[in-house]
Each structure stands twice: as structure tokens, then as C-alpha cells.
Structure 1
Amino acid sequence: MIQIDGSFLEGGGQILRTSLSLSALTGKPFKIENIRKNRNNPGLAVQHLEAIRAIAAITNTKTDAKKGDITIEFSPKERIKKEEINIEIPTAGSASLIISTILPIAYKIKKDLKIRIHGGGTWNKWAPSVIYLQKVLLPLLKKAGFKGEIEIKRDGFVPRGGAILEIILHPWKNPPPLFLEQSNISGVFIESVSSVSLEKARVAERQIEAAESILKPLKLEIEKTAKYVEAYGFGSGILICSSPTILGRDIPGERGITAEKIGKQAAMDFLSEVQSKAAVDSYAADQLMIYLALAGGKIKTSFISDHAKTNAYTIEKFLPVKFSLDEKEKTIECKKI
């Protein structure tokens, strides 16, 4: 059984999610100790439990994991056979983190896999938004032949959640290596999403206007979408991404913080990614590492995060690969060993 230290470096939920994905792909059991040991609320949270249950359902595995556990053992009973799964998230926890755990499974499925998620949030602090997965991660993966769709039927905002999502994964066979260097940026896309309860306050438009004021130095054409959606409670978020080099940054709205401040912060973060000459933003780089391990390749990012170092540690436990993380050149390369 693979032994993993859940407090290694970044020491967050990514260690668990990466382990679950790779356990399902390889059939290898694992044990993680010290899960989120250094966090204010150590152990498994609800969204971690739902990721465990999702992979357990896909691999027909029983699990007795519960909230607060700091140790977990997982032994997949069988290789991936499911064609449909339903996931219930009883809180406003991040739906995107659960989706990210499931996406790599496309490498092993023989038929399309349909996932329905009821509950959870589409905009959460410390997690990518679901539209980030739609408009940044999936287009990047498409460069390695990955095929999948994510449809948002209903957005979910903190603290009530209530998202409804449908995801379809297609078999991902014989993927080509993924090599990403920044070419050029000719356009910028901004999407601001708010609950209909905030329409009178023009929250979506104000986030966009604030972001535009920061992005003027780029002198690029900016495509804008302000969207108001039905949701439980109220909330908002903004995503900024570029093309044809795909860089992205997103921020959820937050009680007590103005729409203008949210928009400006997202734009400043995005501008920093553009100025770094990266081919992928630092958030995407972390998420692409499993796919680099499966397909091989090299990517240039804005900086090498502790998330990336932690992911390399975890992936190398499951697969015969070696990562090279060059902090000076800001590149991540993976080769089979």
C-alpha cells in the first residue's frame, strides 16, 4: 500500500484528490496520514468526503471515511466501469474540486462517463470556479486530445450552494505529449456572473468595468459578458482569460467587498500572469500535472508553487515518472522512468 504524508509542503486537499484520481487509474491502494494537519480545521471536510465517495462509486469501493478524519485508507475494488454517477453535495463546498478529481479518469474509461452533481458551489474561495474549468482547463487539455464537457444548469454561491452540473467525459486514448510555450495574446474575455438578486446593484457590470480599467495597458480587444443567474441566495464572481495563449484568473465575490475591488483584483492577478510570459497560469499548471504524468510534456508557467511541488511528490508515488520543476525558468517537465 502506498504511504503518503498528508502534511507534506502545501499539505492541503490536493494530496487527497490527486491520490484518489491515480488510485482509480492504477488500481493501487493508498494510505494518507496527517490530512490537512496544519490547517485551522484539520482532517477531511465535506468536499473531500464527496470526492472520496465519487471515486468510490466509480470503482465500486466501500469507504467509511467521515468528516474530520486525519487518516484514510483507500483500496479500489475494481477498475472503472461506471457509465453514470450522481453526486450530492449537501453544503456550498466547491464542486470544481470534485470535478477536478474525476476528470483524469477519462484516461481509463472505455465508454462515455456522465456525472451529475447536485449541490455545492460553482464560485468558492481557494478553489477554481467551474467556469474556469470550462474556459481555461478544458481548452488547455484539448491540446492533448482530451474531450469533455461541463454544463452549468444552476450556479451555487456560498453559503447556500445548490449548484446543478452535468459533466460528460469521453475516452482519452493515446494522448500526445503536452508542450506549452506562450505564443501571443490577441484577445481577452471577461465573464462576470451574479445572482439575479444583485442585478439592480449592477454587480456584474461593475466588476467588468473595474477589471477593464486595469487591463487598458494591454491595448487588446476585450470581449465582455455580464450574466445574471437564478440561484439560492446571492453571490457573484468574475473570470478573465486570454487567447490564443490561454491564461486565466477568477475571483468569487465576497460579502463586504465591493464589486469594484473584486474586478480590479482579478484584473491585477491576470495582468501579472500575462506579464510573466507564461504559457499557463500557476493555477492551471498545478492541475495539468497529472495529465503531464500520463502523456508526458513540458509547460511554462508564471511561478512554481508549493501546490506544484506537492503534486509532483504525490504523483511520483503512483506512477513511474519523474518531474523536473525549474524555478528559474518556471517550467514543469515530466518524463517516464
Structure 2
Amino acid sequence: MEMLELDGAPGGGQLLRSALSLSLCTGIGFTLQDIRAKRSKPGLMRQHLTAVNAAAQVGGARVHGAELGATWLRFEPGAIRGGDYSFATGSAGSCTLVLQTILPALWRADAPSRVRLEGGTHNPLAPSVDFLADSFVPRLRDFGIEVGLALESPGFYPAGGGVLHATVQPAGELRACAFEARGELERMDGTALLSGLSSDIGLRELAVLQARFGLGEDARHLRQVRPSRGPGNALMLRVRHAAHGTTFTGFGERGKSAEAVATGVADEAQTYLASGACIDEHLGDQLLLPMALAGKGSFTTTAPSDHLRSNAALIEKFLPVEISWDQQDETTWRVIVEE
């Protein structure tokens, strides 16, 4: 088996998850040294270990070094198997990051799959379930990939307890896609999601979005999680253009006002709206892998993030593609994948 030697020091969990996905899809094994070496707590944390074990189960892999705190890992992929799976982070670790790790393998399986995931569904520094459903899954459909998501119960940090269900259909050869023009703005709406907290917090967040973007009453939504599994708050702003919709998310935290949470979301959305980009910065990171598996494609984005740059370098180690980016103007970059 072909094996790659990878250095995990420059990156975090994203480098590990991308390596697992690419290994399953290509049949190329890898060893990863110095995992998360520059983080305050180096090595594999619980959600990273869940992703490793999930990838191993889906891909019939042999794994060495998979334990909490490990800074070295060897992963030897086997045959991908569709079917029914269940994974739990055992904490508020992100369900969505675990799901994104195994999705590329499952859409290449020879049978449909159903996946049940437990943990955090709305986490800082991870795509929320709403983001996946609103932004990521529709673009996967353009590649010819069918994924269904159903949120049974939300889970916030630190309590967790969320449950997410996913269905994945086998996909044939992926279609090449170009996401370069988003079209006319059609609608914006905001949702404040609360668990074990006063509704006043959500109303204040939505008032900021109303003031910034003129959201009407029918575009402002307040949702309370019942029963509550612990305190939590997520604010989502959905921006829908004719050719693409994206969701911007902010999270409440102790000592941070509702107005500050909403202002952060509004500022991020405003940067996107002021640009000529079709794809926002975070979604660009996530579309790079299916685009590379398709062999070619392109998209415009607000900026090539550090995650995108490190992901591109890793993808080029596993796949015979070249990934480049060119600045189109002050607010827009074009990312190109070609064989």
C-alpha cells in the first residue's frame, strides 16, 4: 500500500479530518506526525478520535496510535462499506465535523448509508447543522451527491446531547462544477436558537439584524429548545441569492452581549454581500475536496483562508490535481481546480 508521511504541526483537526477523507477515497495510507503540535492541548482530543474511529469503521481501516492525546497516527484504509452507523463524541464535540470526515467515503460506497451522530450540533469553530443543510448540501447536489439531514435535537457546548441523522446515497462519477455567480439577492432571514436561556436574548439579537438589514417580522424567527440539555445560543442569518444561499452563524457565550453576537454575524454577512463572491470563505474550504474528487471546477470566494490553503496542499498530495487562486478584485478571489 502506498503511504504518505504527513506533518501535523502546522495544522489542527482539519488537516487530520481531510487526510482521513482523502485516504478513504484514494486507498492511500498515511502517517501523521506532531498532531496539533502548536495547539494549547496537542494531540487527539475526543472529537478527533471519534472522527478517526468513524473513518476506520466506514473504510475497514487498520489504525495505529488512535488514543486520546496521541500525537502520532498511522491509517491504512480498506474497503468502504455502506450501511447503518452510529457515532458519539461522548462530549459536546462537533457532530458535523465527524460527518464531514466520512461523507466523501460514503458517497463512494456501493450501498446507501444511514448515520446517527451524538454530540454538539451547534459549535463555535465548526459548521452548524443549519449551515450544512442550507449551504453545503445543496452544493453537493450539484456534484451529483445526495445527502439528507435531520436534526433530532440540538446540542451546545459544553453539555452536548445533540442528535443528528444523515442519509447518504452512492454517487457515480462526480460532475464538474463552477460556482462563480450568486445571482440577485432574493431573501434574508434570521433565526435565534436558544436552550435554557431567556427569549429576550434572542429578541435582542434579531433586533440588531433587523436594524442592519431591514428584516421584516416574517423574516425573524425565535426558537426555544425543549427540553433543554443545558444553556446554549446560536444566531443564524440566511442570505439567499438566485444561484446560491449561505448561512452565517454566531454563538452566545458567557460575558458576550446579545448585541455583540449579532453584530459579529452581521459584519461577516456584510463583507460577503459587499463582495462579488458566490461562495463564502468557510464553504469554500469545504467544497474544495468534492471539487478535487471531480477532477476540476472553480468558485469565487471572498478570500482564500488559511484552511483552504492548507487543504489545497494536502489534497495535491493525494490526488493528481492542481489548485490555484487568483485575485479578481479587492473583494473577490477565484479558486481553480484542474488536472
Alignment TM-score, normalising by the size of structure 1: 0.92
Aligned with residue 215 of structure 1, among 207, 213, 216? 213
Deviation at 1:62, TM superposition (A): 4.1
Alignment TM-score, normalising by the size of structure 2: 0.92
When structure 1 is superposed on structure 2, of 247-256 and 326-335 the one drifting more is 326-335
CA displacement 1:210-260 (0-9 Å, x = unmatched): 2222224xx899733221112311101011122233233111211221222
Question: Counterpart of 2:6 in structure 1: which amino acid?
Answer: I
* Structure 1 residues 221 and 285: alpha-carbon distance in aligned structure 2, compared to 1, 3 A threshold: farther
Match for residue 285 of structure 2? 286
In the alignment, the residues of structure 1 paired with residue 130 and residue 304 of structure 2 have an alpha-carbon distance, to the nearest angstrom, of: 24
Structure 2 gaps, min length 5: none
Match for residue 113 of structure 1? 113
SS state at 1:202 partner: helix
In the alignment, the residues of structure 2 paired with residue 221 and residue 232 of structure 1 have an alpha-carbon distance, to the nearest angstrom, of: 29
Q: Greater relative contact order: 1 or 2 (C-alpha under 8 angstroms, separation 6 or more)?
A: 1
Residues 1:333 and 2:336 are matched in the alignment: yes
Match for residue 226 of structure 1? 222
Aligned length: 328
Match for residue 92 of structure 1? 92
Deviation at 1:263, TM superposition (A): 1.4
Structure 1 gaps, min length 5: none
Question: Counterpart of 1:80 in structure 2: which amino acid?
Answer: I
SS state at 2:172 partner: coil
Percent identical residues: 31
In the alignment, the residues of structure 1 paired with residue 217 and residue 238 of structure 2 have an alpha-carbon distance, to the nearest angstrom, of: 12
Question: RMSD in angstroms over aligned alpha carbons?
Answer: 1.8
Match for residue 232 of structure 2? 235
In the alignment, the residues of structure 1 paired with residue 324 and residue 289 of structure 2 have an alpha-carbon distance, to the nearest angstrom, of: 14
When structure 1 is superposed on structure 2, of 219-228 and 318-327 the one drifting more is 219-228
Judge conservation of contact 1:247–1:270 (CA < 8 Å) in 2: no
When structure 1 is superposed on structure 2, of 276-285 and 101-110 the one drifting more is 101-110
Judge conservation of contact 2:92–2:120 (CA < 8 Å) in 1: yes
* Structure 1 residues 281 and 307: alpha-carbon distance in aligned structure 2, compared to 1, 3 A threshold: same
Deviation at 1:7, TM superposition (A): 2.3
Question: Counterpart of 2:256 in structure 1: which amino acid?
Answer: I
- Which segments of structure 1 move beyond 3 Å, counting only runs of 4 or more? 219-222
CA displacement 1:76-121 (0-9 Å, x = unmatched): 1x22113111101111111111111122224411221111112x21
In the alignment, the residues of structure 2 paired with residue 327 and residue 310 of structure 1 have an alpha-carbon distance, to the nearest angstrom, of: 18
**Aligned runs of 1:170-319 on 2, under 5 Å?**
170-182=169-181, 183-195=183-195, 197-198=196-197, 200-216=198-214, 223-230=219-226, 231-243=228-240, 244=242, 245-295=244-294, 296-319=296-319
Question: Counterpart of 1:172 in structure 2: which amino acid?
Answer: A
In the alignment, the residues of structure 1 paired with residue 144 and residue 97 of structure 2 have an alpha-carbon distance, to the nearest angstrom, of: 22
CA displacement 1:60-85 (0-9 Å, x = unmatched): 23434111111111001x22113111
Judge conservation of contact 2:235–2:262 (CA < 8 Å) in 1: yes
Match for residue 152 of structure 1? 151
SS state at 2:6 partner: strand
Deviation at 1:333, TM superposition (A): 1.0
Judge conservation of contact 2:58–2:106 (CA < 8 Å) in 1: no
Judge conservation of contact 1:188–1:240 (CA < 8 Å) in 2: yes
* Structure 1 residues 215 and 115: alpha-carbon distance in aligned structure 2, compared to 1, 3 A threshold: same
Question: Counterpart of 1:208 in structure 2: which amino acid?
Answer: L
